[in-house]
Structure 1
Amino acid sequence: MSAAVKPCLEIRSLSAVLPNGQRVLRSVSLSVQPGEVRALVGESGAGKTMIGKAVLGVLPSSVRVIEGEMRLEGEDLGVLQLRARRNLIGARTALIPQDPLTALNPSRRIGPQTTDRLVRILGWSGERADQRIRQLLDEVHIRDPERVLRSYPHELSGGMRQRVLIAAAFAAEPRL
């Protein structure tokens, strides 16, 4: 018999509330195995984004997790200090946000926003990070990567901002 494969992500009975007690997540359970593709589907307000934010540790300050656990490749995210959690998540996962305008910092150029994680969390050289982002921008059909990397988010179309975020998400070849 072979050993059981650990899920990439496992969420068990996750519940979260607002200060008034209103539940924004109610006993959510989900398991994603290596190589498996999953999609969170539901109406607006169903909690899809909240689940992602809970895993990433970026829930709004008004939302509090009251029960459940989240494990990333066997690591219990709930017991990790915020910095350790963000480093673990930054090294192994990526999220493509649904709204590229609010996901990008309007006061920073695109280049540093796409390479910061690679340099700070993964320890890549700036040159290696720049090369990887340029390669991926080409793969998502951005014609003039140099101009885009020098641009501010408001100077790009919505579709181009979304492609920039897709390239940035896949830059470190995340497992999840």
Structure 2
Amino acid sequence: MSQCPCGSQLSYQQCCEPIHANPTQAQTPEALMRSRYSAHALGLVDYVIETYHPSCDAASQREGIEESINSNWLKLEVLSTEPSSHSDEGFVTFKAYFADDGQEYCMQERSRFVRENGQWFYIDGTFPDSEPVQELEPQQALLNTPVSSIKVGRNDPCICGSGKKFKKCCG
């Protein structure tokens, strides 16, 4: 593989591959976030599960994670990185673009990462107000639809408009 899926302009072998082999190689929240995006693009379900914070119990959400990974991931844009008040927490705001049924969509998230025992983990995120490339479906049309019949990925913004991830809200 030539260029890394994360868009760093480095080869995969110089960028995310070493982190995929050993997640402790991610020295910053941005490096872990980029490696998680690349893992989505490459279908590395176990890596994505492994890099969730243990409190998230990602293994129990394996089916939803697999569904999210099976999207057609197009590109990643890192918008900003922010330190926290302590050195073991950091934030990365990004846009991830994907295609579904011939339409292009954009998911924007401000992700929070924590470091424990020298390893960074993804713990949660919020969805800043942003305009999607295409609306998936007007939320008004979903109001009387049972949640169980709506196809929403676990990391997609919640259909209720709360700004939280679907898995942390109505999922």
- TM-score, shorter chain, exceeding 0.5: no
Q: Which has the higher strand share?
A: 2
Q: Which has the higher helix share?
A: 1
Larger relative contact order, structure 1 or 2 (CA cutoff 8 Å, min sep 6): 1
The TM-score, its normalising length taken from structure 1, stands at 0.29
The TM-score, its normalising length taken from structure 2, stands at 0.30
Over alpha carbons, which structure has the higher Rg? 1
